[in-house]
Amino acid sequence: MASTTNFLIFFLFIITFIFFLFLLCYFVRQKCLCKCEICQCYMTSSWYPQFTNLCDWYTHLLQKSPTRTIHIHVLGNTITANPKNVEYMLKTRFDNFPKGKNFSTILGDFLGRGIFNVDGDLWLFQRKMASLELRRNSIRSFAFEVMNTEIQNRLIPLLACVANNKDEILDLQDVFRRFSFDSICRFSFGLDPKCLELSLPISQFAISFDLASQLSAKRAMHVSSIVWKMKRFFNIGSERKLRKSIKLINILAQEVIRQRRKLGFSNHKDLLSRFMQGDIVNETYLRDIVISFLLAGRDTVASASTSLFWLLAENPRVAQRIREEANGVLGLNQQLTSCEQLRDLHYLQACVYESMRLYPPIQFDSKFCLEDDFLPDGTFVKKGTRVTYHPYAMGRMEELWGVDCLEFKPQRWINKDGVFSQENPYKYPVFQAGVRVCLGKEMALVELKSMALSFLQRFNVELAPPSHHIPRFSPGLTASFRGGLPVFVREIKSTT
């Protein structure tokens, strides 16, 4: 009897597998019927010998397009680097370009119903809650206190230790991830994971978080969602790895929530405590909020920091000018004592913005069209089409930034009075724009600038071999350097 049951189960498994395989072949064949040059290039990866990264190939295609808009038919994706199109999607017809169910499905296992993966009332509720808290002066002061403590008590001692050993190579990308992870956990949850201690302890959570981000992003690169859905159904390959990673992430997120309940939250300043004081009691919903905080506070800041220091290592004169500005504003070799002092450091602000113009933490962002529409450049967008705006490519458009658009020039952000000057957010959608503009923008800038200034006041960085003329990126929801950012750290002899 048992053997008959096992045989039937096995037989049903084989039939189901063949059925899904048939569906897969059918849909992939339908998708792959497109014979246009771009789609064939994508399907065969023939772009790879000429371009270091997929985003560089997209940039090349967008630069050649008269409308700065292209179509990847096999992905059902319209990609644009046209600021008018970006404004149309993010402001004028915001309601017609939501994240969409397709996007939510792709990232649902990882991000759940967090703010980055929902539309409508769920998104509006989380945004209002976060906006209310992030606007409080007490929260901003608390954030600066957390960041400054992490810088002075952990980051600087670690760098000093490495600098004493002239031959030691340090992966700055790993350091920045640890720094931002400690900071966001203390600020958002009131808990200290201590990832940036001198021993640089291995964090299985961080490894799982990075893997989940990479594998979730790769789902969107398949020509048909049936590919990854079938792998998920049978729990094989990358989907098996993703499931294991998310399981570990869920365990830590649940522990964060449990610890916060145990310690109490009525008198705590962290964001999670403030959310838990409201009407949110659902554990899964709280888990999704925790993951969203981590994605926003760890990955994006670490990505921006890595790109900035790669550029500063390539342009030491810029780093020196940051030091000179700080000496003029704060006093010779004086440290930051409040986030208000950052407002007068215009060149530092310009460096951060210029770095993210060339290397935005989120290289592209996608929406899905609800109803048939026309973009301002005349492009017809069919209902259900994925529409992507591409900040990475936009930072490399001559008509937007001039013939020197590929050069790292912070002074392009400084006006004739020597003051930092903002650009149109639809020309520079690094923080999104319109209704979905990043709520944590100012907090992220304070963290990045505070860390960068404290670092540069005491240390220089030199790229360790092998270094590349163009960064090589790993797939993921945020940009990350493949192989990290290996550097030598050199202490600057102070002058009085």
Cα-to-chain-centroid distance, residue 87: 21
Tokens standing for 482? Answer: 């493949």
Q: Where does 69-214 show beta strands of DSSP type E? A: 69-72, 77-80, 170-171
Helix axes of 441-458 and 172-189: crossing angle, nearest 10 degrees: 130
Q: Which of 196, 232, 139 is nearest to 440 (CA)?
A: 139
Backbone angles phi, psi at 93, to 5 degrees: -120, 45
- The DSSP annotation for 98-128 comes to --HHHHHHHHHHHHTTSGGG--HHHHHHHHH
SS percent in the chain: helix, strand, coil, step 5: 60, 10, 30
Residues 6+ apart with CB under 8 A from 169: 464, 486, 487, 488
Residues 6+ apart with CB under 8 A from 78: 69, 70, 71, 72, 379, 381, 385, 386, 387, 388
Where does residue 151 fall: left (phi above 0), alpha (psi -120 to 50 degrees), or beta otherwise? alpha
CA dihedral for 240, 204, 262, 293, sign (positive or negative)? negative
Q: Which of 463, 451, 172 is nearest to 314 (CA)?
A: 463
Instruction: Report helix, strand or coil for 380.
Output: strand
Question: Is 438 labelled as part of a ligand binding site?
Answer: yes
Residues 6+ apart with CB under 8 A from 244: 208
Cβ–Cβ < 8 Å for 170, 487: yes
Cα 14 from Cα 9, distance rounded (Å):
9
Which residues are documented as binding site?
Answer: 438
Binding positions for heme are 438
